[in-house]
Amino acid sequence: MSFDLLIRNGTVIDGTGASRFDADVAVKDGRIAAIGTIDGDAARTIDAAGMIVAPGFVDPHTHYDAQLCWDPLLTPSSWHGVTTVVLGNCGVGVAPCRPEDREKATWDLVNLEAIPYETLEQGLSWDWESFPDYMDAAEQRGCGLNLAFLAPLAPFRRYVLGDEAMERPATAEETTRIRALLREAMAAGAVGFSSTQAPSHIGYQGKPLASVPASADELVAYATELGEIGRGAIEMAIGSVAPWMKPADFELLDRMLGASRAPLTFLALMKFLDKPEEHFRAMEQVAPLVARGARPQMHSTNLVSDLNLRDPFMLSSFASLRGVFNQPRDVQAAIYRDPAFRRAFRDDLVEQAAAFHGDWSMVWVIATGRPDFERLIGRNIVEIGAERGQDPVDAFFDLALEDDLATEFTAVRFGVPEEFLGDPRTLIGLSDGGAHVGILCNAGYTTEMLGDLVRRRGLLDLETAVMRLTSDPADFFGLSDRGRLKPGLAADIVIFDPATVGSDSARPVPRDDLPGGARRLVVEAEGIRHVIVNGASLFEDGRHSGAYPGRVLRPGRATA
């Protein structure tokens, strides 16, 4: 028999958690044709001796909603063996959107996803209005990876309520109209919907993102819509500041689970550096919800963020900083100098300790615009403050002010709740691929997990790690033909060297390759030999094949 592709001599890890085995893998017409000892020829043969042959990785939490307009490879995720991404998380997105609301949607992405305005202004194609239009435009444009779309509630609510979506819940009549838009999105192939009630999620003009003011009854109505449709998943960024869930959030998730009868993932399970045992208690608290199908989402890499006071995204949950977003430099500087602001900031350090632990010994200077400040690079704020005779808060703001707000800092914010890495009650994700492009990059979590957590530290066996990166997220979002190597399923495949696979999110590399020449941080992959999407080569040893074989995945539709 003749195949399109034969992968010979590899060690197969099929994504189910089963033990690895040596086998050939044959591909025909974009699907896996056979696995085993295979006789036959092929248009192309890959010798995978010494390599692992696994399903392509599925990233359940990305924000590539805008980037797909200018980067059809969705880098850097595609470098790291990811073959399918779920977009539209955290309730933020760019569709549906009327032409007169495009600027507001753009500022939502600036303030929540920390993408430069100039990049979005030049890069967004806006060849859509409705959500089905947006999905169709992505399909027509072409992409290297498979795209699965959540319907994000912020643009849906703004489409119906206008600017009042940032201020109040929807009325019963407005909720009915939003439900109709959600039903339309699901009919077009969306995999569910997302929303947020997190106080740190701010949008246009520093106001709450348009999904934040939704009432509990309103959100339950949208969950009911999924229940009536009979498919789909829900992603929620809850209003509680982790690790504890407020009773109102617990009740909301409980009601949404009952109304939707759908899988629900919520943000987030984290390890707090100053409270290293709290994540155990947090899991105990949400156990009744988990037993009913809710799954906390968690990082598999430490969360390290860069920060500057021109765009202080990391501190967006601080009420004291709301007035500085989207303001001119001189206005921001006046706020930072104000003693009343600093008093409010100190209060926020106590009240928002979960968002930022306030340990200034974990905040370092990494760049400066002043040559005489270069000696401070690599030093933490506690050391710098002591040298200047200042407490860390004053040193932090005064240093930036003396540098015309050009100083760049970096901070370790959260650790990995390692004890739950292999726990099926949790969902590994939170890469935020495509977002926060100038301050962090967790899009390499797949290879970092395989290299660090599996090979170097032995916290997971390779089969479990692959399952957590493939069939687990695919099943959660109803992507039934992804995430496994099995005859008849889509041929999304990653071939990697288990001895060298890895990356390091703590050491991202700057690239000035965004539209308009803006800078982003990327993490490069090691040990990824081949990335194959729908049976076609996407990357070989880091080189793009020139093909764009990805598809818009539309579960529930005959064309899926």
List, for residues 144-169, the tens digit of each pLDDT value.
Answer: 999 999 999 999 999 999 999 999 99
Supply angle C-alpha 273, 467, 455, rounded to 5: 60
Cα–Cα distance between 114 and 204 in angstroms, integer? 12
Query: Which residue ranges form the domains of the chain, and what is each CATH number?
Result: 2-55+525-544 (2.30.40.10), 57-302+415-469 (3.20.20.140), 306-412 (no CATH)
| Higher pLDDT among residues 284 and 304, named by residue | 284
Greater pLDDT, 116 or 54: 54
The three state secondary structure string of 328-357 is: CHHHHHHHHHCHHHHHHHHHHHHHCCCCCC
Q: For the segment 61-114, what is each residue's pLDDT rounded down to a tens digit? A: 999 999 999 999 999 999 999 999 999 999 999 999 999 999 999 999 998 888
Give per-residue pLDDT as tens, 183-226: 999 999 999 999 999 887 888 888 999 999 999 999 999 999 99
pLDDT value at position 277? 80
Identify the pLDDT of residue 241.
65
pLDDT > 90? residue 416: no
CA-CA-CA-CA torsion sign (300, 306, 307, 311)? negative
Q: Determine the Cα–Cα distance for residues 239 and 257; give it in Å rounded to an integer.
A: 17
Q: Are 262 and 233 in contact (CB under 8 A)?
A: yes
Looking at residue 243, its pLDDT comes to: 64
Over the chain, what is the mean pLDDT?
93
Rg for the chain (alpha carbons), in Å? Answer: 23
pTM (2 d.p.): 0.89
Whole-angstrom Cα distance, residue 282 to residue 274?
A: 15
**What are the φ/ψ torsions at residue 71 (nearest 5 degrees)?**
-135, 85
Mean pLDDT of 15-20: 98
CB atoms near residue 478 (< 10 Å): 19
Supply the pLDDT for residue 301: 86
Band of residue 558 on the pLDDT scale cut at 50, 70, 90 = very low
Could you give the angle at which helices 172-187 and 216-229 cross, rounded to 10 degrees? 40
Question: For residue 211, which of 235, 229, 187, 233 has the smallest C-alpha distance?
Answer: 235
Average pLDDT over residues 113-134: 96
Q: Are strands 509-511 and 520-522 parallel, antiparallel or unpaired?
A: antiparallel
Q: Which of 14, 9, 116 is nearest to 70 (CA)?
A: 116
Return d(Cα 72, Cα 290) in angstroms, integer: 36
As a residue count, the chain comes to 560
Percent of the chain with pLDDT over 90: 79
> How much is the pLDDT for 303?
77
Distance CA 73, CA 304 (A): 25
Q: What is the DSSP letter of 56?
A: P
The number of beta carbons lying within 10 Å of the beta carbon of residue 173 is: 8
Q: Point out the least confidently predicted range of 67-81, 87-101, 334-348, 356-370.
A: 356-370
